[in-house]
Structure formats: C-alpha cells, structure tokens
A and B are shown apart, each in its own frame.
Chain A
C-alpha cells in the first residue's frame, strides 16, 4: 500500500514538473515570435521614415509612431520572458538592441522627421550600420532562445522517459510485493491447514470412547471448556476385558486443553493395560499410581479417577476411587454416591481399596467429573453434590438421555460458557433380557 502511494504521488509530481517545462518551452517559443515581430516593426519604422522623407505625408509619421509603440511592447514581452528564464546574456543583448534602436530614433529618425531631406546617402550608410548591428544583436538573442528552447524540449523528453521508467519500476516493486505476500499467505494457510489436520487427528486419538457392553445401555457426553477443542483433561473409557466383564473408567486430570488431553490418553491406555493383568480395581489403581509417579515428572499434576469392573452377567460392580467423588448409582427410587477408596493419583504412594455395589436391572451408574458438581451459575454459586444427585434423580431413565439431560443443565447453568471440562458416562444395567425394569 505504501509503495502504491509513493508511485501515485510520484506520478502527480512528474505530471506537474512536465507541465511546468511545457509552459516554459511555450514561453520561449512566444519570445522568438515576439523577437521576429520586433524586427518587422523596426523595418516598418524605417520604411515609414523613408516614406515621410520622400512624400512629406504625415500619414507616414503616424505609421512610424505606431510601429515604435508596438516595438516597445514587444520588447517588454521578450524582456520579461528572458527575466523569467534567467537568461542574463540574452538580456544584455536585448538591452543593447534596445539602446541601439533608441539611438537610431534619436540620431537618424528624429533629424529626418524634423527636417526631411532628399539627400540620404550618408544617412543611408549610417542607417545601414544601425540596422546591421541590431540584426546581429537580435540574432544573438534568437540563438540563445533557440538553444534554451531545445534544452527545455530535451528536459521534457527526459522527464517523460524518467517518469515511464519510474512507473515501470514501482509497478515491478508492487507486483513483486504482491507475489511475495501471496506466497507468504499461501504458506501460512498451508501450515494452518496442516496444523488443523494434526489437531483433528490428535483430538480423535484423545477423545473418550466407549464400546457396546452386553446387557448394558451406555450413554456419554463430553463438554470441553475450550470452544475450539473437543478434548480436555477429563476422560472416560469403556473397555471390554472379556465377554462378561467391562472396564469402566472416569478420570479428571488437573489442567485443561491439549496438555491435559495428552495425559488423558496416557491414563486410558495405561489403565487398560494394567486391567488386563489385574482383576481387582484397587490393585489396578495402586499400580497405576506407581506408574504415574514414575512417568510424569511434573509434581503439580494429579488425577482424580474411578476404575471399576462391571460384570455384565449379574450386574455386580467393583470399583476403586482415587479421590473421585462424582460417581453415583441411580436406583429406581433413589440416588447413591459411591465413596472414594484412596487418595488422588500422583500425590502419594498408596494402596487403594476396592468396593462393590450390586446393580439391579434398570439401575444406572452415573460417572461424572467435577464439572458436574462444580458447575458454576452466573452468580458464581456451585451446583454441589446434593443438587447433582437431585438432578440425576430427576433425569430420564435412558442412559444417553440421562447424560444429555445433565450436560444441557450444566451448559444452561453456566450461560453456555462452562468453566471446566465435563465428562459423563452413564451405564444402565439392562439384565439378561435387555428389558426395561
């Protein structure tokens, strides 16, 4: 944009400069014509004088006076043009021309107008000297005018050429800049696209997921505190350990965004791996706590999590909870909280206990992260555990409908701007019949 402004401003300046040179050149041309006119009027004066001497007719005196006045006017015009153009030498010549003409009038013309004589031989000779001299000075002035005029024409041509070169130069610069900016823009767009692709792939990898579990109905929702990311520090997982047993996991990693999401992937796959070797959830958590301490250097990171194993054949659920208190069982007429069985993961070395609950047909495990109980209203008030349990009790019975109900409530409560991630996993035991209880 700056380059374009310079180019436009330069074009205006060049145009003004060329116009000025054209005006000066035109003035020089006019001065040459005026000079030629002075010579013609000088001859008119001389002829009028001869006419008067030969005829004594006053008409010739009038013609003489008229030519003299016109000569003076032309002389002034040429004088001004030479002053404007600062042609000192030509000015001196013109002054000399003027002086000689004045002397001619005084020494030749005036005596003849006063006492006309027919004998003109000596006067003719003297007149010849005047005329020759004036012609020479006029030639000198004309030569300078011609040279100056030619120089101005050359100058004009040079300015036009220079202007064309400069215009081409600025256009070239502008074009190059446009190409550079376009290339830079394309590169940025490409890099952005690549980043987006990487981000999408990572989000897909880190996303919580579940598989169908026999005799169970599963519902899940995930709300991210980040508007652009579909992942965060909360995670849930449903993994079949055998035909009858399913591993259920819900965890909340401290922190938010991509960094926390990377850690959730570690949690999911490490717990799956440990669960394939251990039957007891307490042992799973104990080993995971050890692994976490050895793997993650950052002492400020910790995890609340619940790991449970659901026996799909009879609805028994054993679990271990590392400080994860947002886990509930919804019965047909009540909602129970699942107590924790050990400290947060990543804080201290600990042995985690295991607890069991029995699910009846139609009962549902509602595993959430603290995004539920700590859902903040606009006034800053937290939802709290009691209200969360009331909410679960009032929710629809179907697993996905229940999860959606809770998510909608949290989103509405926070004015569509949740301050924390929320993971919801609902597993409703349907029994062998798969029917509704």
Chain B
C-alpha cells in the first residue's frame, strides 16, 4: 500500500491547491460539544496524543490497525468540553479537506473525566 502514497499525494495536492485559503479553528476552548462520528460508524475514537490522531488518519490500513489499541472508542452522543483546538491539523489519507484536532474532556458516559484528542468533524456543538 505504500506504493499508493505518491499518486495519492499528487491527487490530494492538486485538489488542495484548488481549495480556498485555510480558515480558523471551528471550535473554541470551553465550548461544550457532543461527540458523534461523521463517517459510517458514529462512534468516535479518542486519542491520547494529537500526533497519534493525525498519524492514524494518514496511516495505511495495517498501520492503523496497529495503532488502534492506543485509542478509546467513545459512544456516539457522549458530551464533552473543548480544552484546545488546532486548526487543520489532520490530513486524512484520501480525504479532500484538512480537519481540526480538538482536545476534549469527556463529561458523560463510562469514560467520564477522561481527556483526549478527537477529529474536529466528530465534535458537534
């Protein structure tokens, strides 16, 4: 799968060049949010490090499988509060747009009190 990196990077670069200038972070500190996955699986992965969050989304499938043990799966609908936000920090492997990395503290559910990093698109106001 590594051989895909170059052509995919070329496609992404071409697409990204067409995008408008980067915007500011979508969320601000102290904002309360609900975690809800934007993909087909509404569960949200909570990562112990923003770099691991970014690496997971840029990784090949095998790499992602290896990394998954370092994440917690948060049930969709869990409430949280924003601690920090890094604008356009995450570049999905095949996605068209950059995503924010948001640090949150879980307020409800079995993981209440835990902190970690989630994708900006998974944290809804």
Contacts and interface: CB of A to CB of B under 8 A. Distances in A.
Interface in B51-68: 57, 61, 64-65, 68
B71 A93 contact: no
A139 B94 contact: yes
A89 B65 CA distance: 23
Interface in A26-49: 39, 42-43, 46
Given A124-B73, A125-B71, A131-B39, A143 B61 contact: no
Given A125-B45, A132-B39, A93 B4 contact: yes
Contacts of B57: 132, 136
A96 B1 contact: yes
A344 B72 CA distance: 136
B94 A137 contact: yes
The winner among B41, B72, B96 for most chain A CB atoms within 10 A is B41
The winner among A96, A128, A132, A136 for most chain B CB atoms within 10 A is A132
A223 B81 CA distance: 124
Contact of A127 (B1, B41, B64, B72): B41
Contacts of A135: 39-40
A140 B9 CA distance: 11
A46 B71 CA distance: 21
B11 A143 contact: yes
Contacts of A262: none
B9 to A, nearest CB: 10
A100 interface: yes
Given A89-B8, A136-B93, A144-B11, A39 B40 contact: yes
A42 B68 CA distance: 21
Given A93-B94, A96-B1, A125-B68, A131 B41 contact: yes
A255 B39 CA distance: 108
Contacts of B7: 88-89, 92
A127 to B, nearest CB: 7
B87 interface: no
A129 interface: yes
Given A139-B94, A143-B94, A128 B45 contact: yes
A133 interface: yes
A75 B93 CA distance: 21
A125 B46 CA distance: 11
A5 interface: no
A88 to B, nearest CB: 7
B77 interface: no
Interface residues of B, number: 26
B34 to A, nearest CB: 18
A211 interface: no
A140 B11 contact: yes
Contact of A125 (B11, B37, B73, B93): B73
A175 B37 CA distance: 66
A126 interface: yes
A133 B71 contact: no
A124 B39 CA distance: 14
Contacts of A93: 4, 8, 94
A100 B61 contact: yes
Contacts of A46: 40-41
Contact of B73 (A121, A139, A143): A121
B68 A143 contact: no
B29 to A, nearest CB: 27
B54 to A, nearest CB: 14
B65 to A, nearest CB: 6
A126 B96 contact: no
A134 B96 CA distance: 15
6 contacts: A46-B40, A93-B8, A99-B61, A124-B43, A134-B40, A135-B40
Interface of B: 1, 4, 7-8, 10-11, 15, 37, 39-41, 43, 45, 57, 61, 64-65, 68, 71-73, 92-96
Interface of A: 39, 42-43, 46, 88-89, 92-93, 96, 99-100, 103, 121, 124-129, 131-137, 139-140, 143-144, 147
Top 8 A-B pairs, shortest CB-CB distance: A140-B94, A131-B41, A125-B73, A89-B7, A135-B39, A136-B94, A129-B68, A133-B61
Given A140-B8, A143-B15, 13 more contacts: A88-B7, A89-B4, A89-B8, A89-B11, A92-B4, A96-B1, A127-B41, A128-B37, A132-B41, A136-B57, A136-B92, A140-B94, A143-B96
